[in-house]
Amino acid sequence: MRFNVRVLGSLLLMPFSIALGLEACDGSGPADGAPASSPPPQVGFVVGALSAANSPDTFDGSALPQLTNVIATQREDSVGIDFDPVDNAVDYRVYVLPDSADVTNNASGSITIRNGVYRCAGLRQTLDLPNNTGNSLTAPDAGQEYQNGQYSFTADVPATPTLGYVYVVPTEGTVPVYAIGVHPTSNENGWRESRAKIYTTSGSTRSTLLSQGGRDDGVVFYVPSESASNTAAVYHSESAEVVAGQGWTQYSEYYFMGGAVSAHQSDSTPPSPAFQIFQTAQAGTVPLTSVTYNTQMPHVELSAGLARFNRAASQGDGPLWHLEWAGVTAPTTLVVEALAQGCPYQGFLSPQPVDSPPHQPLKTMAQLAAASPTGEVYINGQFDTAPVDGGVPLMQQGSNSPVPIARSYVMVTPQPHDPAVWDWYEGFNGDAGPPHFTPAPDPASCSCDSDAGPSAPCQYGEGACGYWKSSALRAGAYEVDSPGGVPLLAFGEILGQFWEVFDDYGQDVTGSLRFTAPKRAMIDSDPTKFLHVTWSVDTVGTDRRYPQLVVTDQSSPIEDGFNNPNSNFLLIQPINGPSMRFEVEAFHGLFDGKPWAVNNQAPDHALIDYDFWATDYPSNPPEPPADPPFEHAGMDRMTKYDAYISSTVLYTFMDGKPAGCMQYPSNGFALEGLVTVSFGDVLYHEGAEDELLCATPKPYDFMHEHQCTETKRHWDDLAFRDGVSAPEWNSTLFPCMAY
């Protein structure tokens, strides 16, 4: 949301302690006489870590520090785990608490668990941020990668970046500091740190800023509630200048200690105390550091702890502070660890084995376990170990085991869905076993010269296709690479999720997979009734590979329907990595006289786009106060999306929070009546990505090394229900924009 310059500017001229008497527009319910609204979609049930007193005693010498702010979000049979970063941690992992008899303590400090299965955080797939301490634009270090070889902004790291000390958990005598993102700018590159922020302990100031379109970045640290002999004030000031000839205001947000007050006295908003911090380290505190971001809206970014400081100063790869676990069928204790080394890469994990040279072999969990003398398997291991077995790095000895440096435990339980809430639901929880797919004919898009229909993917020169049915899903694969007649294609269940792998086969080839609900949904002609669709998927991608939701009035196989000039399609997709744009394409029939394809797309409507948004609003649409999609993405991180689709308007959510609203286009598009709901993955001529994805290690460190010519996604918790009311929505902060 573009901020109202006059209102926000006047607000920031006032001390934060002044009550402004403004009401937040929270979208908590419909206006009088309006139709009832649905509550926002839930992301799961949250539990915290077990206390030290309640933690199991499984590991010898297990007195490791605990991770802080461990939050586990329980879904149907999976869990997403967030936590504070641990200084000097290279990676993180989660696994089921083992029997102590299966645990071996190695001399290096690592542990080996017989037949252990781990799931690892892995690395962020992103660019570097140039700064004044090593990430140089004029003499970049080896392996650094900047936007388009240059950059739209840099960071300044002070010679002494530590301002003082703060807590990251609530402590007696402290109050929370809230961060509210203000002043959106173009080219934020998907990083939360790129947005200017107001840091405040005032709940009323926070509410006011949120009501004006501020992005809620939550509680970022805790500070002394009162000044004392061992505390000092952090000051805030603001500079607001109208850019000559352009008519927009450039804001600069500064945070500094008392010694810099005189240097900021001429700022538009003079310095005033924002909050207190400790001058010296206290038990349990971490350093509070500052880095200046020289964006279109310059600002000081405050970070609690060394790991957050390093990210703010340099960005780039580095571990995600998030883990996934799936396949929870009973109450389970999970072990969460920070690691001094990265989880090893053991091979390309796939739901089915495929050997299709020159592609790398796709291996199952059983094959990876068999190749390790301990039976250990690392899901999403992204770090290479010593090459063995013909050059494939495998886990062969205890010395390759990463050393844990912090450990916590969480108790999680399955959260079965209520069948009455959904018309169709597929959570891959294994109740009826994995989906059993049988070949089926698809005469339009994929057919074989055989009366019996395809028993395997059809072969067409260099490419292959196929269509299958099961009680859970309909599956279609198109333009798949098939060297030597062996398609590089696999899909099926792994640990309570649906995994798929494929590759396209040549130049200008639009490879795709489609997974369709066997039951059709309904979009009512009554515009107050909505089709609610939900899906979870990992979303790291590029402009040539990304996941999709496809809703259409065409029947399955939907790939056939793209050829129908009287069809209507609604596509919702995160695209254009590494930062990603969350967009919608709504179109009727053919586009430019040809069917829709990855290389023949309809005009898009951006719901969230922090890379290309210009500052000359109102000629450009406002940017909503939504999180950047990049901050919800990872090679093994599931992002939950929800779409509420009526005959006139679309509402979308990302991880339970509003993402954007869109009115339908006036291009003949009309979507109502029976519709087909599909979930898909696309890959368009991955060979053309060589310069970006394969020839350089960044921004896609892991994809460059291990998924250059193949793509892989995980899916879970797919469902829909029709005839629901509109979701609770704040139309002021998230206006329903015209297509």
- What's the mean pLDDT in 459-480? 82
How sure is the predictor about 11, in pLDDT bands with cuts at 50, 70 and 90?
A: very low
Give me the chain's average pLDDT, please.
86
pLDDT at 248: 81
Helices then strands, each counted (H, E), the chain = 6, 45
- What's the mean pLDDT in 539-550? 93
**Please, are residues 715 and 500 in contact by the beta-carbon 8 Å criterion?**
yes
pLDDT of 148 > 80? The answer is: no
pLDDT digits (tens, 9 = 90+) for 83-117: 999 999 999 999 999 999 999 988 888 999 999 99
pLDDT at 198: 98
Query: How large is the angle between the packed helices 5-12 and 203-211, nearest 10 degrees?
Result: 170
- What's the mean pLDDT in 586-597? 91
pLDDT digits (tens, 9 = 90+) for 643-699: 999 999 999 999 999 999 999 998 899 999 999 999 999 998 776 655 556 767 778
**Please, are residues 59 and 106 in contact by the beta-carbon 8 Å criterion?**
no
pLDDT of 434 > 60? The answer is: no
* C-alpha to C-alpha distance for 64 and 725, rounded to whole angstroms: 49
pLDDT of 439 > 60? The answer is: yes
Q: Which two tokens stand for residue 618?
A: 């109102």
| % residues pLDDT > 70 (the chain) | 85
Domain with CATH 2.60.120 in the chain: 419-737
* C-alpha to C-alpha distance for 738 and 618, rounded to whole angstroms: 13
pLDDT digits (tens, 9 = 90+) for 595-626: 998 888 999 999 998 765 444 433 455 678 99
- Residue in the structure block whose two tokens are 């329903």: 736
List, in sequence order, every beta strand (DSSP E) within 201-328: 215-224, 231-242, 249-256, 269-278, 286-293, 299-304, 322-326
pLDDT digits (tens, 9 = 90+) for 26-79: 333 444 445 578 999 999 999 999 998 888 888 865 689 999 999 999 999 999
| % residues pLDDT > 90 (the chain) | 66
- What's the mean pLDDT in 12-21? 27
First CA to last CA distance, the chain: 17
* Helix ranges (DSSP H) in 628-717: 701-706
pLDDT at 525: 96
- What's the mean pLDDT in 563-592? 94
* C-alpha to C-alpha distance for 661 and 651, rounded to whole angstroms: 5
For 406, phi then psi, to 5°, come to -155, 150
Asked if the bond preceding 735 is cis, omega within 30° of 0, the reply is: no
pLDDT of 449 > 50? The answer is: no
pLDDT of 725 > 80? The answer is: yes
- Residue in the structure block whose two tokens are 């402004």: 20
Long-range CB contacts (within 8 A, 24+) of 278-285: 278/164, 278/165, 278/166, 278/224, 278/230, 278/231, 279/164, 279/165, 279/230, 279/231, 279/232, 280/165, 280/230, 281/165, 282/165, 282/230, 284/167, 284/169, 284/171, 285/165, 285/166, 285/167
* C-alpha to C-alpha distance for 192 and 178, rounded to whole angstroms: 14
- What's the mean pLDDT in 571-591? 93
Higher pLDDT, 586 or 392: 586
SS3 state at 10: helix
pLDDT at 312: 98
Its pTM stands at 0.91
What are the DSSP calls for 259-288, one per residue? GGTGGGTTSSEEEEEEEEEESS--TT-EEE
pLDDT at 688: 64
pLDDT digits (tens, 9 = 90+) for 244-276: 887 788 999 999 999 999 999 999 999 999 999
pLDDT digits (tens, 9 = 90+) for 348-391: 999 999 999 999 999 999 999 998 888 999 999 999 876 544 44
pLDDT at 431: 56
* Helix ranges (DSSP H) in 103-163: none
**Please, are residues 571 and 591 in contact by the beta-carbon 8 Å criterion?**
no
CA-based nearest residue to 598, from 542, 540, 675 = 542
pLDDT of 573 > 70? The answer is: yes
How sure is the predictor about 1, in pLDDT bands with cuts at 50, 70 and 90?
A: very low
* C-alpha to C-alpha distance for 311 and 317, rounded to whole angstroms: 9
Work out the number of other CB atoms within 10 angstroms of the CB of residue 176.
Answer: 17
Among 7-16, 183-192, 556-565, 722-731, which range has the highest average pLDDT?
A: 722-731
With the C-alpha atoms ordered 441, 444, 446, 448, is the resulting torsion angle positive or negative? positive
What are the DSSP calls for 153-188, one per residue? --EE--SS-EEEEEBSS--TTEEEEEEEEES--S--
pLDDT at 447: 60
pLDDT at 395: 46
* C-alpha to C-alpha distance for 347 and 308, rounded to whole angstroms: 31
pLDDT digits (tens, 9 = 90+) for 111-142: 999 999 999 999 999 999 999 998 887 776 76
pLDDT of 295 > 50? The answer is: yes
pLDDT digits (tens, 9 = 90+) for 686-717: 766 555 567 677 788 888 888 888 999 999 99
> Of the given ranges (157-166, 176-185, 229-238, 451-460), which has the lowest mean pLDDT?
451-460
CA-based nearest residue to 334, from 44, 65, 80 = 80
pLDDT of 444 > 90? The answer is: no
pLDDT of 529 > 90? The answer is: yes
Work out the number of other CB atoms within 10 angstroms of the CB of residue 590.
Answer: 17
CATH number of 419-737: 2.60.120
- Quote the radius of gyration of the chain (alpha carbons, Å): 26
* C-alpha to C-alpha distance for 387 and 707, rounded to whole angstroms: 18
Give whole-number Cα distances, 37 to 212, 250, 371, in Å: 23, 38, 54
